[in-house]
Amino acid sequence: MSTNASVTTIANISNKKTGLIYIRDGEGAVKDFSVPRGGDWSGYLPVPWIGSDDENYKVINITIVAQEKDYVIYIYQDYWHPADKNEVKYSTSKFFSYSDPNNKRISGYPDYAGKKKLIIKQRSDDISLEMEVIK
């Protein structure tokens, strides 16, 4: 199976009514940063390709400090499942594992690479993620 991998770049993060968000880039290309409640961040954050458990260290780690509880979300670009879609996925497991069957596709437009906006919202007692294309 061959793939045609392209890079997804998060160019904007919008924090909609959640607590303070801390972002850690596992590959270290971007310095760690935070986004305040109701705030926005603009910059350049490439989403790392992960295709096996030995690449777990690359994941983008998002920690949300909310009043009710803290949330930890891991974001990555899936190299194999499905191949050729450049799909961005996330995990809310305590520890990230590429092979975890509970990893999910981010809603909205996480496929086919390019510049994206990541929107983080609080829905009742949970957090939702959505991606939009930036033209």
What CA–CA distance (Å, rounded) separates 45 from 60?
9
Q: Which residues pair with 131 in a beta bridge?
A: 108, 118
Instruction: Reply yes or no on whether the pLDDT at 3 is more than 60.
Output: no
Our count of domains for the chain comes to 1
Would the pTM of this model clear 0.85, i.e. be above it? Answer: yes
**Which range marks the domain in which residue 60 is found?**
8-133
Query: What is the tens place of the pLDDT at every residue in 13-59?
Result: 999 977 899 999 998 878 899 999 999 999 999 999 999 999 999 99
The pLDDT assigned to 4 comes to 63
Has residue 64 been placed in a domain?
A: yes
Has residue 2 been placed in a domain?
A: no
The pLDDT assigned to 129 comes to 95
Has residue 3 been placed in a domain?
A: no
* Contact residues for 99 (Cβ-Cβ < 8 A; gap 6+): 52, 53
Q: Which of 46-50, 84-88, 124-128 has the lowest mean pLDDT?
A: 124-128
Has residue 128 been placed in a domain?
A: yes
Would you say 104 and 89 are in contact if contact means Cβ atoms under 8 Å apart?
yes
The pLDDT assigned to 1 comes to 45
